[in-house]
């Protein structure tokens, strides 16, 4: 499928990498020749240096034959103009990155209709939502939701003293009667789609699915519950920090934001009068101690520098802050941070590339893909996909124990009439269901891909 991407910054490069990996025909546009040269050296893509809103540049990129056009430059307005031009010149679907908080829900609906935008994405808002979920369920290192929140998948890290250490999944189900399923396990650099004989070990990262209302009860039963973070310290007055602080304050949380930029601090104080805004260097340990980092429930590092986020998060971790989260965009630094004991890492570029990958994969299915949700789990080694069941699905009404599935495929959940079902061998897929599938080492375009 032909896809054009305008803007080759962190987000754009991540999207290019993901789409090339999935076998798409990608064209990259950027007005910086050095950036374009680097993209051309790294990825097998066509590169065009120019303005993504210029008709000659778009014509050179072949916009009339593009099935998907994505604009992710640093300017919201330029992204909208690029998509408007691309749509008028023949691009079938368009996606624009729109980040400014001033473009609220009503504005975006109007803009999408008038400009012919298919989708608008806001990486900062999406990342803030991910952070909020992690602060509300601090025991999890990652949380993904399906079907509007009816079913959740959480990633947990088994501590050295975990009660699950040395326990097989069969014994786990016998001992704990909760309605849940462990559907993926990462042990060091290897990922498993486990069967009942799989034995858990301390240090494993496990992916667990359960109904949303079952999660807290389940974690309590497993002895790994952790209270929701009430007092939160945020380092860096960024857009993500604004969206996160606003959401936390509306839920009754206490929020303190630290940033060295006086102008930005004044803006934050005006926009979020209920927050405590501190103007100072958050890299100074004395300042963090004075502002009560030892007594806070959570520390979130959201500066624009990955290295600073990691270093200050390590300090917060050393002060026994119950929940520490770092924003890290560079993959190699994220891996390093996890080896240093920081198990909660968020990456806006990964969040956006997941969304774009899902959309692109849906368009690739010639019969009209039924992919609703796609997440990359376990550091990208596993995919979790939510499908609508199409009427022609051949595995309908066959008990799972009799269904012939491809290797490294697991049906992790069914959503039926807004109710989450954790499947057993006697369950089956019915018309109208939504099905959550876990897949390792393969690319799925349709629910039928689970069958041999």
For the chain, domain boundaries: 2-121, 127-222, 231-321, 363-450
Q: Which residue has the tokens 């990498």?
A: 17
E strand or H helix that includes residue 186? strand 180-187
CATH homologous superfamily for 2-121? Answer: NAD(P)-binding Rossmann-like Domain (3.40.50.720)
Percent helix, strand, coil in the chain (nearest 5)?
Answer: 40, 25, 35
One fold for 127-222 and 363-450: yes
Which homologous superfamily does the CATH classification assign to the domain defined by 363-450? Answer: Regulator of K+ conductance, C-terminal domain (3.30.70.1450)
408 Cβ contact list (under 8 Å, min separation 6): 193, 439, 440, 441, 442
The packing angle between helices 262-271 and 239-250, to 10°, is 30
Q: Which CATH class is domain 127-222?
A: alpha beta
Rounded mean pLDDT for each run of 10 residues along the chain, 452 residues in total: 94 93 94 96 96 96 96 94 94 91 70 78 90 91 83 89 89 84 90 92 92 83 80 95 96 96 95 96 93 95 95 95 94 86 88 84 62 81 88 90 91 91 92 92 86 88
List the end-to-end C-alpha distance of the chain, in Å, as a whole number: 25
107 with 377: CB under 8 angstroms? no
Q: How far is CA 394 from CA 386, 403, 404, 431, 450, in A?
A: 17, 10, 11, 11, 11
Topology of domain 231-321, per CATH? Rossmann fold (3.40.50)
The SS3 of residue 182 is: strand
Q: How many CB atoms lie within 10 A of CB 40?
A: 14
- Does the pTM exceed 0.95? no
Contact between residue 275 and residue 242 where contact means Cβ atoms under 8 Å apart: no
The number of beta carbons lying within 10 Å of the beta carbon of residue 114 is 10
CB atoms within 10 A of CB 350: 24
Tokens of 245: 């602080």
């Amino acid at each position: 499928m032909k896809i054009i991407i305008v803007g080759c910054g962190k987000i754009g490069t991540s999207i290019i990498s993901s789409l090339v990996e999935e076998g798409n025909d990608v064209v990259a546009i950027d007005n910086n020749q050095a950036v374009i040269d680097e993209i051309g050296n790294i990825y097998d893509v066509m590169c065009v240096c120019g303005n993504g809103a210029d008709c000659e540049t778009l014509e050179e990129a072949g916009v009339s034959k593009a099935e998907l056009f994505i604009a992710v430059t640093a300017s919201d307005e330029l992204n909208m103009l690029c998509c408007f031009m691309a749509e008028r010149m023949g691009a079938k679907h368009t996606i624009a990155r729109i980040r400014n908080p001033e473009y609220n829900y009503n504005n975006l609906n109007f803009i999408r209709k008038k400009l012919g935008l298919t989708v608008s994405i806001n990486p900062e808002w999406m990342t803030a939502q991910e952070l909020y979920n992690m602060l509300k369920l601090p025991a999890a290192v990652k949380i993904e939701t399906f079907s509007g929140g009816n079913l959740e998948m959480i990633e947990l890290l088994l501590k050295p003293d975990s009660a699950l250490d040395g326990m097989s999944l069969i014994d786990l189900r016998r001992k704990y009667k909760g309605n849940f399923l462990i559907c993926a396990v990462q042990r060091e650099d290897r990922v498993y789609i486990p069967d009942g004989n799989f034995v858990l070990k301390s240090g494993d990262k496990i992916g667990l699915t359960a109904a949303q209302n079952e999660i807290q009860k389940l974690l309590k039963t497993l002895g790994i519950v952790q209270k929701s973070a009430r007092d939160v310290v945020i380092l860096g007055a960024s857009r993500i920090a604004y969206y996160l602080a606003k959401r936390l304050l509306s839920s009754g949380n206490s929020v303190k934001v630290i940033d060295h930029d006086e102008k930005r601090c004044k803006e934050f104080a005006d926009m979020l009068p209920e927050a405590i805004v501190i103007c100072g260097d958050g890299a100074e340990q004395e300042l963090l101690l004075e502002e009560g980092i030892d007594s806070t429930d959570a520390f979130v590092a959201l500066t624009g520098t990955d290295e600073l986020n990691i270093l200050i998060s390590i300090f917060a971790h050393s002060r026994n802050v119950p929940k520490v989260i770092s924003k890290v965009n560079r993959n190699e630094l994220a891996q390093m941070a996890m080896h240093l004991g920081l198990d909660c890492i968020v990456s806006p570029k990964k969040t956006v590339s997941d969304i774009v990958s899902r959309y692109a994969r849906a368009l690739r299915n010639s019969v009209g893909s039924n992919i609703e949700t796609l997440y990359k789990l376990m550091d990208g080694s596993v995919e979790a996909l939510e499908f609508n069941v199409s009427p022609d699905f051949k595995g309908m009404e066959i008990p799972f124990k009799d269904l012939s599935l491809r290797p490294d495929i697991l049906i992790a959940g069914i959503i039926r009439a807004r109710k989450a079902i954790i499947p057993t061998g006697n369950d089956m897929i019915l018309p109208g269901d939504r099905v959550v599938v876990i897949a390792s080492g393969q690319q799925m375009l349709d629910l039928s891909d689970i069958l041999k």
